[in-house]
């Protein structure tokens, strides 16, 4: 695959467990070759709003 080609990139946010991450990726049919980056964000109990742990995944759109 040409890494310099421009294509659409989508961010997916999932709950912060490996099981939830795998379930979301599998349900959307995302294969490992489409994953660009996976970043874990730990829980922030002192924050307001969305404070639970989560994964942020960048994937190439099909």
pLDDT at residue 2 tops 50: no
What's the confidence (pLDDT) of residue 5?
57
pLDDT: which is higher, 62 or 54: 54
Quote the CA–CA distance of 42 and 54 in Å, as a whole number: 7
What's the confidence (pLDDT) of residue 25?
97
Quote the CA–CA distance of 61 and 9 in Å, as a whole number: 6
What's the confidence (pLDDT) of residue 1?
43
3-state secondary structure of 21: helix
Mean of pLDDT over the chain: 89
Domain coordinates of the chain in residue numbers? 9-60
């Amino acid at each position: 695959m040409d890494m310099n080609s421009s294509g659409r990139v989508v961010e997916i946010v999932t709950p912060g467990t490996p099981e939830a991450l795998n379930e979301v990726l599998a349900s959307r049919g995302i294969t490992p070759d489409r994953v660009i980056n996976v970043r874990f964000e730990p829980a922030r109990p002192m924050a307001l709003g969305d404070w639970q742990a989560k994964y942020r995944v960048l994937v190439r759109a099909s």
